[in-house]
Amino acid sequence: MNKVIITGSNGLLGQSLLNLLLQEKEKYQVFGFSRGENRSGRNDFTYVSIDITSEEKLKNKIKEIQPNFIFNTAAMTQVDDCENNKESCDLLNVTVVKWLAEISKQLNVHLIHLSTDFIFDGKKGNYKETDTPNPLSYYGLSKLKSEQLLLKSEIDYTILRTILVYGKVFDMSRSNIVLWVKSMLEKGKEITIVDDQFRTPTYVEDLALACKIAMDKKATGIYHISSNQLLSVYEIAGQIADAFNLDKNLIKPISTATLNQTAPRPAKTGFNLSKTNKVLGFYPKTFKEDLQRFKQTVI
Ligand SMILES: NC(=O)c1ccc[n+]([C@@H]2O[C@H](COP(=O)([O-])OP(=O)(O)OC[C@H]3O[C@@H](n4cnc5c(N)ncnc54)[C@H](OP(=O)(O)O)[C@@H]3O)[C@@H](O)[C@H]2O)c1
């Protein structure tokens, strides 16, 4: 029986991973770490209400559990918040990862950590795991710093980089592109969407599955996880409208420059999935196909 800790178990990926691992209770004993109440809607795992930015509490709790694997899904993920609160961003996105690596070394734990396409500058697109990072935002920089400290650590680690994650879980602290576009169009509201940023969006259930595959195969190193077709965010919104039979005419294209966001965003990311296909044996599909699967869960 593997003991598995999921930090951020109240989050989008955290809850999806809980749901996946708890299908095999004979294989995994699951511990969820999050702030406040358990918001996953399930009570068939051990929930630990904890602020993981307390080094002592975090390390002591992990020592008590003696896990085989830790999934670190907790992060400060709002890009503009990170730009405005660099200290908080560093604490959760970098320092906590350092502590997790330290305790993982001490207890011989395999640490599986989540990162982002925002470590790239978005000039090239279709990024491979070996492409050179050059983050534009503080969020991207913090995630890159967390990767670099794992690269230097002497532990078994896996870094799964992902892009524009969407899905639906029990109780969500924030929305995502698919739920937001769907809800706005359902209300008949006009929305403006950038047509000069390109992404390969990721269905959270696929991301959770990739996490589980990485654990089961004990795959170490860096892997890219997303859908397999590069689309503009405007095209992504259009496909959401099509999938849910909503009025596409309400979606108006806009350029990134007119948005005036605090943190700069990379123009063109998207992942090359060759390594993920080959080493993890994982073959993500197109956004259109993923949306059809997602649709079954929300209607
Ligand atoms: N979502 C995306 O589009 C995207 C894209 C690229 C990469 N990623 C990466 O993927 C990972 C998972 O993202 P996600 O979308 O699942 O994130 P999420 O929904 O924001 O979940 C993060 C969870 O961590 C919890 N958390 C935050 N600070 C904490 C603390 N101090 N102590 C304990 N728990 C804390 C949050 O609690 P509260 O709910 O109480 O805030 C939240 O439940 C992150 O590493 C992110 O950087 C995400």
pLDDT, one tens digit per residue, over 184-207 is: 999 999 999 999 999 999 999 999
From the list 232, 230, 244, 231, the residue with the least C-alpha distance to 181 is 244
Q: Per-domain residue ranges for the chain?
A: 2-167+201-228+270-284
Nearest-angstrom CA–CA distance, 45 and 105: 25
Instruction: State the Cα–Cα distance between residues 288 and 57, nearest whole angstrom.
Output: 43
Query: Stretch 255-272: mean pLDDT, rounded?
Result: 94
Q: Is the CB of 15 under 6 A from ligand 1?
A: no
Mean pLDDT of 128-139: 98
Ligand 1 in reach of 8 Cβ (< 6 A): yes
| Residue labelled with tokens 């602020």 | 51
pLDDT tier for residue 124 given thresholds of 50, 70 and 90? very high
Res 221 pLDDT > 90? yes
Candidate of 18, 80, 114, 145 to mutate for ligand 1, largest count of ligand atoms within 8 Å of Cβ: 114
Count of CB atoms situated within 10 Å of the CB of 1: 9
List b or e across 111-148, with b for residues whose CB sees 16 or more CB atoms inside 10 angstroms. bbbbbbbbbbbbebbebebeeebebbbbbbbbbbbbbe
What's the confidence (pLDDT) of residue 46?
A: 98
Indicate whether 299 pLDDT > 70: no
Length of the chain as a residue count: 299
Q: Is residue 70's pLDDT more than 90?
A: yes
Q: Is the pLDDT of residue 144 over 90?
A: yes
- 61 CB near ligand 1 (under 6 Å): no
Q: What is the pLDDT of residues 1-34, one digit of tens each?
A: 899 999 999 999 999 999 999 999 999 999 999 9
CA of 188 to the centre of ligand 1 (A): 30
- Distance from first CA to last CA of the chain, Å, rounded? 36
> Does the pLDDT value for residue 230 go beyond 70?
yes
- Atom number, ligand 1, closest to the C-alpha of residue 51: 32
Report whether CATH 3.30.1330.60 matches the domain 2-167+201-228+270-284. Answer: no
Mean pLDDT score, 100-127: 98
Q: Higher pLDDT residue, 260 or 69?
A: 69
pTM for the full model? 0.97
What are phi and psi for residue 103, nearest 5 degrees? -70, -30
Q: Is 173 in the pocket of ligand 1 (CB under 6 A)?
A: yes
Q: Is 114 in the pocket of ligand 1 (CB under 6 A)?
A: yes
Mutate which of 5, 6, 13, 137 for ligand 1? The one with the most ligand atoms within 8 Å of its CB, which is 13
**Which residue has its alpha carbon closest to ligand 1 atom 12?**
73
CB 185 within 8 A of CB 247: yes
- Could you tell me if the CB of 74 is within 6 A of ligand 1? yes
DSSP of 215-262: HHTT--EEEEES-SS-EEHHHHHHHHHHHTT--GGGEEEE-GGGG--S
Pocket flag, ligand 1, residue 73 (CB < 6 Å): yes
